[in-house]
Amino acid sequence: MENEVKVTPYEVKGILDDEEYKRLMKEFGIQGINQALLNRIKKHTKDIHFMLSRGVFFSHRDMDFILNEYEKGNKFFLYTGRGPSGGTHIGHLLPWIFTQWLQEKFKVDLWFQLTDDEKFMFRQDLELDQVKKLTEENILDIIALGFDPKKTHIIVDTKNSKTLYPEAIKVAKKITFSTTKAVFGFTNETNVGSIFFTAMQAVPAFLPSVLAKKNIPCLIPLGIDQDPHFRIARDVLPKLGYYKPSIMHSKFLSGLKVYGGKMSTSDPDSTIWTTDTPEEVRKKIMKHAFSGGQASIEEHRKKGGNPDIDVAYQWLNYFFEPDDKKLKKIHDDYKSGKLLTGELKSYLVDKINAFLKEHQKKRELAKKQVDKFMFKD
């Protein structure tokens, strides 16, 4: 079967296994995160987040620059974001949880952009009012993850346009239509707002430098689909006198039904939302999670399962089982046939529901904290 892989901010398709991620690294011109880099990060963070040690965050651009500057006393800021096109799913949380860890360990500021303009312009089915509501909902999920209110600045494109627009037009002036066509696959039928949009996503990568009137290094943790925006930004920003932003890329948390894809908002059966009830979570996982187990219990006991293609196992690996020892035992027991698919899924359900119970509590509390996080211009 042909596996045509495509990764852009507006389309992800194909099965992304280790080989494909390696191929993408070549295609994008990005570096793998190796042990030497992990050791260097650990010097400052004391421990290493499991998303790093397990290769969930697997590649980067210019991390050496970030660490060189940090070691000279020149702190970086973090930047990441969300396009509010629907509710938040657990795949979105992956880069944000890692970003929160970086903020805590390096004690740095975070700029978080909500691109309501982007989702309005790209999605024919969404009105601005709806996007506004989704923006408010998404902000609760962000705050619930425990970012430092004193060091976190949430920007909403249409609300903060007074500050963003004058900077975006400087970026836009240096990007041609042929570049955006090549990078994003736009055509003559693409609306002009969408063609302009990447300029808006570039701005937070240098806005703190504009405001501080001095250059500050920027580190952007993101899912790899967002990298193309910053390939353009990295070309343009030095022309405006700013540093190129550095990047750390994560792999995708796959949807439930197919191992190696990207969880997406368009297939609800494949997706766990942050607002799901425990029953909804159990039902979806038990029914839809793609299994690397055997067809019958007898066969499974005899031959064992394949954790490498099992969505439940992968979700534990990427997100829900931070304890390396427990994860290894699950891996080995599943492989030997001692642990059955139903048992593995049930373990995952309990983990997700414990996480969501806490998250939903914090999400409620976040409603009173929003104002502290919003960037005021």
Residues in the chain: 377
Binding residues for ligand TYM, per CB under 6 A? 9, 79-83, 91-92, 94-95, 113, 115, 118, 201, 220, 222-223, 225-226, 250, 252-253, 262-263
Q: Which is nearer to ligand TYM, 244 or 300 (CB)?
A: 244
Residue pointed to by tokens 């030997």:
336
CA separation for the pair 305, 312 (Å, rounded): 12
Tell me the closest approach of the beta carbon of residue 79 to ligand TYM, in angstroms.
6
Tell me the closest approach of the beta carbon of residue 85 to ligand TYM, in angstroms.
7
Q: Which is nearer to ligand TYM, 113 or 160 (CB)?
A: 113
Q: Which is nearer to ligand TYM, 58 or 340 (CB)?
A: 58
Tell me the closest approach of the beta carbon of residue 258 to ligand TYM, in angstroms.
12
Q: Which is nearer to ligand TYM, 210 or 343 (CB)?
A: 210
Tell me the closest approach of the beta carbon of residue 238 to ligand TYM, in angstroms.
19
User: 273: helix, coil or strand?
Assistant: strand
CA separation for the pair 164, 155 (Å, rounded): 9
Tell me the closest approach of the beta carbon of residue 325 to ligand TYM, in angstroms.
25
Q: Which is nearer to ligand TYM, 223 or 293 (CB)?
A: 223
Q: Which is nearer to ligand TYM, 113 or 180 (CB)?
A: 113
Tell me the closest approach of the beta carbon of residue 207 to ligand TYM, in angstroms.
11
Cβ neighbours for 17, distance < 8 A, ≥ 6 positions apart: 260
Q: Which is nearer to ligand TYM, 262 or 345 (CB)?
A: 262
Q: Which of 300-307's residues contact partners 24+ apart within 8 Å by CB, and which partners?
A: 300/337, 300/340, 300/341, 301/337, 301/338, 302/337, 303/337, 304/334, 304/335, 304/336, 304/337, 305/334, 305/335, 305/337, 305/339, 305/341, 305/344, 306/335, 307/331, 307/334, 307/335
Task: Classify residue 323 by burial, with Cβ atoms within 10 Å: 0-12, 13-18, 19+.
Answer: exposed
Which amino acid makes up residue 83?
Answer: G
Tell me the closest approach of the beta carbon of residue 86 to ligand TYM, in angstroms.
9
CA separation for the pair 247, 244 (Å, rounded): 10
| Closest C-alpha to 145, from 107, 108, 91, 96 | 96
